[in-house]
Structure 1
Amino acid sequence: MNTTESPVLLVLGAGPGLGLAVARRFAREGYLAVLATRTEADAEPLAAALVAEGFAAEGVAVDLADPADVSAVVRGVGERHGRIDVLHFNPSFWRERNPLELTVPELLEDVALGAGVLLPAVQAARPFQSSGSRVLVTGSMAADEPNPAAASLGVQKAAVRNLVASLDGVLADDDIRAVAVQINGALAKEGPFSPTPIADAMWAAVARDADGWTAHVPYDG
């Protein structure tokens, strides 16, 4: 196993919007950005965009619906680089079902993807994390103000916020911290809720000193 000199950011559930913006923000700080998407064909253009800007980046495929694959992919990144300094968990699932239509299997499937697979991801990353490493999670106002038209999303976001607090309590003993940045607004192409300023807020949340650390940081634009 080789150890990459640069710190490593792994984005699970990367995309051309927020995931890429977060990767770019961390790359500006000297991180190697690893972008994990559903297929390599999806990941390669994202990594290529960063490489074209002069940053170090690579893309990998991951099936976020398969906990075993999540574990294998995260472990593979750790073994390849010898470290995972920041694990960014970005996935969620929008299902247009109100509470009178949503079934229990649908709810559980959505929560498993939007919150549950954070568990195997962190468990696989832990051997490659050291003092100062961070777990970063994309939160949402849906945790507090759910949209009835997509009832499972609010449950996903409330669940992952709660899970982050538990993870932070366990990881803190090793000076590894977890934080959910709750985006209290609708994502947009421009303005304070566009990817770039949100990515800046995520960097700020991770770059905080551990003194006075909180596992929940609201972003209000």
Structure 2
Amino acid sequence: MSTVAIVGAGPGLGAAVARRFGREGFRVALVARDRERLDDLVAELAGEGVEARGFAADVRRPEELAAALKAAAGALGPVEVLQYSPVPHRDFMRPVLETRHRDLLGPIEFSVYGPVAAVQQVLPGMRELGRGTVLLVNGGTAAVPHPDRAGTSIAFAAESAYGHLLHERLAPEGIHVAQLIIPGSITPGHARKDPAVLAEVLWGMHRDRRGFRHYADDLDG
């Protein structure tokens, strides 16, 4: 049985992805800061027949995140699929002319240090399996920078570059790296941005293994 690790797991997209991969027989490692919310989500998924466990970690603390993923692999087996999809803090989204160099520390920790730490932790296990998938989930500023959201625009661009480099480098090893850009907000009931719809897209990206960048909706949608 394979394991999917969802970094930034919550009751919306994270839960939907857990259900979708769980239907395919995956064990699920849920990683987020709030232990109580993790426990609630694990119990909810168990009631639906999905084997899941929660691992508390702050993505802005790379060693803590790596330790959580190490514990997840120890408890559930090597991580075959890593999804990195925490929701950015609102204070990352300052206008560019009001953004000082110190204001970029949080976004860079969140969108660069976090993914790098996560990938480095799970990569040896993927190599042992001979397969793997890394799914990076970002907002629209990853593709089109916004002058009022400088932090995410800059940090998502760096995360995108890292992911693209991994995509090129790891493909010969059977490890697929892809990015899903979700313009605007994840919206229950939306034809293309409902959590369950997005989870299906992410499952397809893992299954089909085609290309690096994918869009959930039009950039102005």
TM-score (norm 2): 0.89
Identity of aligned residues (%): 28
- Give the ranges of 4+ consecutive aligned residues of structure 1 lying more than 6 Å apart after TM superposition: none
The one-letter code sitting in structure 2 at the alignment partner of 1:94 is R
Aligned pair 1:70/2:65, yes or no?
yes
- Which residue of structure 1 aligns with residue 89 of structure 2? 93
Kindly indicate whether the alpha-carbon contact (under 8 Å) linking 2:180 and 2:216 is maintained by their aligned counterparts in 1: yes
CA RMSD in angstroms, aligned pairs only: 1.6
Counterpart CA distance in 1 for 2:106 and 2:183 is 25
- Which residue of structure 1 aligns with residue 177 of structure 2? 178
Deviation (angstroms), 1:188: 1.2
Kindly indicate whether the alpha-carbon contact (under 8 Å) linking 2:135 and 2:179 is maintained by their aligned counterparts in 1: yes
Instruction: Name whichever of 180-189 and 30-39 sits farther off.
Output: 180-189
The one-character-per-residue Cα deviations of 1:136-170 (angstroms, maximum 9, x if unpaired) are 11122122333433321222222212111111222
**1:30 pairs with 3, 22, 25, which one?**
25
Aligned pair 1:124/2:121, yes or no?
yes
Aligned length: 213
Aligned pair 1:49/2:48, yes or no?
no
- Which residue of structure 2 aligns with residue 3 of structure 1? none
Counterpart CA distance in 2 for 1:85 and 1:72 is 17
- Gaps in structure 2 of 5+ consecutive residues: none
- Which residue of structure 1 aligns with residue 216 of structure 2? 219
Counterpart CA distance in 1 for 2:142 and 2:60 is 21
- Gaps in structure 1 of 5+ consecutive residues: 1-5
Deviation (angstroms), 1:185: 4.2
Kindly indicate whether the alpha-carbon contact (under 8 Å) linking 1:93 and 1:113 is maintained by their aligned counterparts in 2: no
The one-letter code sitting in structure 1 at the alignment partner of 2:148 is A
Counterpart CA distance in 2 for 1:46 and 1:18 is 12
Kindly indicate whether the alpha-carbon contact (under 8 Å) linking 1:94 and 1:150 is maintained by their aligned counterparts in 2: no
State the SS of the aligned residue for 1:148.
Answer: coil
TM-score (norm 1): 0.89
Counterpart CA distance in 2 for 1:202 and 1:115 is 21
The one-character-per-residue Cα deviations of 1:89-126 (angstroms, maximum 9, x if unpaired) are 01233324211222211212212212321111111111
Deviation (angstroms), 1:87: 0.6
State the SS of the aligned residue for 1:137.
Answer: strand
**2:103 pairs with 106, 120, 140, which one?**
106
Instruction: Name whichever of 83-92 and 147-156 sits farther off.
Output: 147-156
Counterpart CA distance in 1 for 2:158 and 2:15 is 24
**2:13 pairs with 8, 12, 18, which one?**
18
Counterpart CA distance in 1 for 2:156 and 2:96 is 16
Counterpart CA distance in 1 for 2:77 and 2:203 is 22
The one-letter code sitting in structure 1 at the alignment partner of 2:112 is A
Instruction: Name whichever of 104-113 and 142-151 sits farther off.
Output: 142-151
